[in-house]
Amino acid sequence: MSARILVAEDDPKQANLVRVYLEREGHSVLLVGDGRAALDQCRSRRPDLVVLDVMMPVVNGLDVCRILRAESEIPILLLTARTTEDDVLLGLDLGADDYLTKPYSPRELAARVRALLRRARVVSADNRAVLRVGDLEVDAGRFEVRVGGRPVALTAKEFGILEVLAGEPGRAFTRAQIIDRAFGFDHFVLERTVDAHVMNLRRKIEDDVAEPRYVQTVYGRGYRLAEPEPAAPPTPEGTPGASR
């Protein structure tokens, strides 16, 4: 699922490199160069996650971490050049959810961001509404899928694909994006394997796999879940078409 991410890093070259990798993941990225700006933007823009450099001007990253944790449960990923165990433990004790030591791989940073966002979604799963598209119901919090009220048994990978698509109905995901989000570090998953899982998923939830109603193919792109149909407004009593 795409997210709003605040990157607080005073090195412009490093900040832009992080931005490029996170935007490739489909995230919206806001860059700031000091701790005060990070606090201001977190309070006004309410990002979904913060990537926070420890050594920043005005207000250092550890103080920003402590203040943010006192105000919210926003996931925080610390970036630090300090490598001693005491430095790392201090950041975690102040409320950071994870850390990376410099120099780091931007790909690893993107993977850790994905993991933190997944954890945040699990924590809030009980508060999520069940997604409904026609007769299809996807309850990610309970790991359940129903079609017309009938429970449908899916494999973990089939459910993972459906959960990715259900996170943003109507959005077309590439096969590579589906692999990244649904399978994480399973490097043995090939793009054609996604097609096989989608075919099996359709056999279980679609009335006609040749004309899928829910999991739709976007030619030249990948797959999407049909958007929920808006509820029809009630017909006012006494107007044409109202029941008598």
pLDDT digits (tens, 9 = 90+) for 43-74: 888 889 999 999 999 999 999 999 998 888 88
The answer to whether residues 109 and 18 touch, using CB atoms and an 8 Å cutoff, is yes
Any residues with CB less than 8 A from the CB of 91 and at least 6 apart, and which? 54, 62, 65, 78, 80, 99
According to DSSP, the β-strands at 98-101 and 76-80 are parallel
34, 10 in Cβ contact below 8 A? yes
Cβ burial, residue 110 (10 Å; 0-12/13-18/19+): middle
Look up residue 5 and give its DSSP letter.
E
pLDDT of residue 17: 93
Are residues 29 and 19 in contact, defined by beta-carbon separation less than 8 angstroms?
yes
Inform me whether the pLDDT recorded for 3 exceeds 90.
no
**Are the beta carbons of 50 and 89 closer than 8 angstroms?**
no
pLDDT of residue 242: 46
Q: Is the pLDDT of residue 241 over 80?
A: no
Per-residue pLDDT reduced to its tens digit, 203-218: 999 999 999 999 999 9
Distance CA 94, CA 6 (A): 19
Q: Which pLDDT belongs to residue 184?
A: 58
Output the pLDDT for position 64.
93
Looking up tokens 């976007």 gives 218
Strand partners, 224: 216
Predicted pLDDT at 216? 95
pLDDT tens, 113-138? Answer: 988 888 776 555 454 567 888 889 98
pLDDT over 90, % of the chain: 41
DSSP conformation class of 44: H
Rounded to an integer, what distance in angstroms lies between the CA atom of residue 233 and that of residue 219? 34
Other Cβ atoms within 10 Å of 90 Cβ, number: 18
- Mean pLDDT taken over the chain: 83
Evaluate if residue 104 carries a pLDDT over 50.
yes
- Kindly state the tokens that stand for 90: 């201090």
| Beta-bridge partner residues of 217 | 223
Instruction: Give 239's Cβ-side CA count (13 Å radius).
Output: 4
What share of the chain in percent tops pLDDT 70? 85
